[in-house]
Each structure stands twice: as structure tokens, then as C-alpha cells.
Chain A
Amino acid sequence: MRQALIPVALAMVLGASPVLAQKTASQGIDEYRAMLQDGNPADLFEAKGEDLWKQKRGPKNASLEACDLGQGPGVIKGVFVSLPKYFADTGKVQDLESRLLTCMQTLQGFDPQAIAKTSFGSGEMANVTAMATWVAAESKGMKFNLSQSHAQERVMYEVGKRLFFMRGGTHDFSCASCHGEEGKRIRLQDLPLLTKNPGDGIGFAAWPAYRVSNGQMWGMQQRLNDCYRQQRFPFPGFASDATVALSVYLGVNAQGAASIAPAIKR
């Protein structure tokens, strides 16, 4: 699929320069990405996240070390590839970032609504992203294995699927407009098909990621938020049911794919 698009890419990008015709633009980009693998600034956020987890903070002056991310209090390794899932204590299906808010509230006394309203990259929101980066890193290389055994998990999958195909906004876009067909691309960015497993380290399996273009660390919540921005939709609420439902849909579809988070992206 991609081969057919390369001449177009070359012509657009290189102005039909004969010199680079031997190596395709696609190969050149792959080489560039490979050169960046070693030394991912996401490491800086990972380190920060780990520190924050262990620090006594908030009105209750407590650490998050007793936080249950799905496999018991304080268990970090392996939880990332099993989220989102149903949590009995809150009675809802939660993703990593909403679960971090739950723990920051119950253990540390933070106000989750206030954090949810904070801009990405600042204040406690930035701390949530850093911790999400660290938690994801502790499952790096492991395969996604979301549960669908609880009724609510199955409901959220179906809700996510509906949302994925729901067209709206000024441009009548849906997630499927970009991610509903094989072989689509925007300029030089491949758009993975997300209605099924897109493969190791692709789509759901590639976030949180450090974006070099703006030097920002993005969690899955910010990725979804920005997708909606590009679709000219109103922003979904941070850690809202809609975003969790989409994550369930994407995560269950990615069953068996290996996580590369935290990744490095354009």
C-alpha cells in the first residue's frame, strides 16, 4: 500500500530531485527515527514520574505508593498493558490517567476536577503525565491484554466503537475518517488502521510518547484530545467516560501487540 504513495511523497517533498530517488523518503524517515531511538527525552519524564509517585504530596501529605492501578496496591509492573479495566472501588472502567486522578484524590487529597481542568503540560496535569510515562515504561515490551470479563468493560468497548465511527463537527470527521482504512497517510505520517490490531508499537501501543516537534510528553489522554482538536470537535473532558471508552476500544483491538511506550514521535 505504502509503495504506491512514495512517488507522490517524493515529488511533494523533494521537488522531483533525482539524487535522492535511490533511497525513498520513507526509508530516510525510518533511518531518522532509528537515530532518535537511543536517548529518548521521555526518560526525563519517566524519572520525574517515579519521583512524584514516591513523594509525600498533597493536602494529605502522602505518597502514591499504596495506589492500586489494577493489580494491587503499589504494583506497577504490567499494569499499563491491562488498562483500561473495571475497578470495584469506584464502580467504573478506568484508564491509567483517570486512575491516577482517583489515587491522587483518595490518597493525597488533590481535587481531580481541578487537575482535569488544568492545561496539559502545566501544574498537576504535567505530574499526571510524568507518572503515566513512568507507569507505562514499567510495562515496556509487554503485550496488551485488556480484560473484557466484566459487563461494564464490554459495554465500554461497544461505546468506544460507536464513538470511533461517529461523524460530527464542522468537517463531519470521525476517528474512522483517518484510522478506519488500511494504507492512509497524512503527508509523511502513516495513519494506522485502528479497528483491529495495528501491530507492535503502533497506535494505542505507542503512547505515552515524547513529541520532538514541540518537545512535549503526551499521554493517551492528550493524544485523544488532540485527535478531537484535529477533527474540529469540542475537546472531550480529561479522563471522561468518552475517552476511556475509546481507549477500551483501541486497547482491546490491540490485544497481543507489544507496547513500546514511552515512545518518541515526530
Chain B
Amino acid sequence: MADPMRIRAQASGDKAIVRVLMSHEMESGQRKDAAGKIVPAWFIQEITASHNGKVVMTSEWGPAVSKNPFLQFSVKGAKAGDKVSIKWVDNRGATRTDEATIS
């Protein structure tokens, strides 16, 4: 299973700023290995963010997003103690979900 994400969610007024670091190669499919063969593309394709169980944001990514990707967004109507959950799915169908509490 993929390594866990690091999710930091900080309350700020009536919003929460969410910063996520995901552990993923994000292989672009452009690189060649030492033998000259293309290293196949392997990257996170879909992100789903939820606040207290309700989906608040989705995002689609291409292979250009950097390795060990970073994502930042702001959830409205959020307060300390609420739960934020992030799920990613990559182009191989692997998935990872992690949760954090807004501080």
C-alpha cells in the first residue's frame, strides 16, 4: 500500500486551509531508463476531498504534476475539530485515503 499522506488542516476564520503532501512517483511517461526504454507513466489522476464526510472538492491531474505532490485549498464553513479526508486514485487504479482533524 502507498505511504500515507501528510495532511495539515488549519482553521482560519470560518475556513480551513488544507495542505496535503502525497507520496507518489508521478512518473510522467516522458523519461527513458538507462536502457533507453520509456519509463511508463504512473501518476495520481483523481483527488477527492471531503469535509465531515461530504465531498467538497474534486480534482483531475495529468502526469505533469510534480513527484511527491503538494496540494493546497480552502474549505468554507469549517472549524477546528472537523474532519478532512483526502483520497487519491492513480492511473493504475491504486488508491489511498487519509484523514486529518482541523486544528
A–B contact at 8 Å CB threshold (below): yes
Task: State the main secondary structure of chain A at its contact with B.
Answer: loop
Kindly state the separation between the CA atoms of A215 and B28 in the bound complex, as whole angstroms: 13
Contact of A215 among B3, B6, B67, B72 (CB under 8 A): B67
Q: Which residue of A lies closest to B71 (CB)?
A: A39
- B40: Cβ under 8 A from any A Cβ: no
Kindly state the separation between the CA atoms of A215 and B4 in the bound complex, as whole angstroms: 17
Q: Count chain B CB atoms within 10 A of each CB in A38, A41, A210 and give the residue with the most.
A: A41
Complex interface: stretch among A42-50, A71-79, A96-104, A137-145: A42-50
Contact of B72 among A39, A43, A47 (CB under 8 A): A39
Contact with B along A201-242 (1 / 0, CB 8 A): 000000000101001000000000000000000000000000
Chain B residues with CB under 8 Å of A210's CB are: 68
Chain B residues with CB under 8 Å of A44's CB are: 3, 6, 21, 23, 68
Kindly state the separation between the CA atoms of A210 and B67 in the bound complex, as whole angstroms: 12
Contact with A along B46-88 (1 / 0, CB 8 A): 0000000000000000000011101010000000000000000
Chain A residues with CB under 8 Å of B3's CB are: 44, 47-48
| Residue pair A39, B4 in contact (C-beta under 8 Å) | no
Contact with B along A31-42 (1 / 0, CB 8 A): 000000011110
Kindly state the separation between the CA atoms of A47 and B22 in the bound complex, as whole angstroms: 12
| Residue pair B23, A39 in contact (C-beta under 8 Å) | no
| Residue pair A43, B67 in contact (C-beta under 8 Å) | no
| Residue pair B19, A41 in contact (C-beta under 8 Å) | no
Chain B residues with CB under 8 Å of A43's CB are: 6, 21
| Residue pair A38, B68 in contact (C-beta under 8 Å) | no
Contact (A39, B19) CB under 8 Å given A44-B3, A44-B6, A48-B3:
yes
Could you pull out 27 A-B pairs where Cβ atoms are within 8 angstroms? A38-B19, A39-B19, A39-B21, A39-B70, A39-B72, A40-B21, A41-B21, A41-B67, A41-B68, A41-B70, A43-B6, A43-B21, A44-B3, A44-B6, A44-B21, A44-B23, A44-B68, A47-B3, A47-B4, A47-B6, A48-B3, A210-B68, A212-B66, A215-B25, A215-B66, A215-B67, A215-B68
**Partner-A contacts on B (CB < 8 A):** 3-4, 6, 19, 21, 23, 25, 66-68, 70, 72
**Partner-B contacts on A (CB < 8 A):** 38-41, 43-44, 47-48, 210, 212, 215
Known: A38-B19, A47-B3. 14 other contacts (CB 8 A): A39-B19, A40-B21, A41-B21, A41-B67, A41-B68, A41-B70, A43-B6, A44-B3, A44-B6, A47-B6, A48-B3, A215-B25, A215-B66, A215-B67
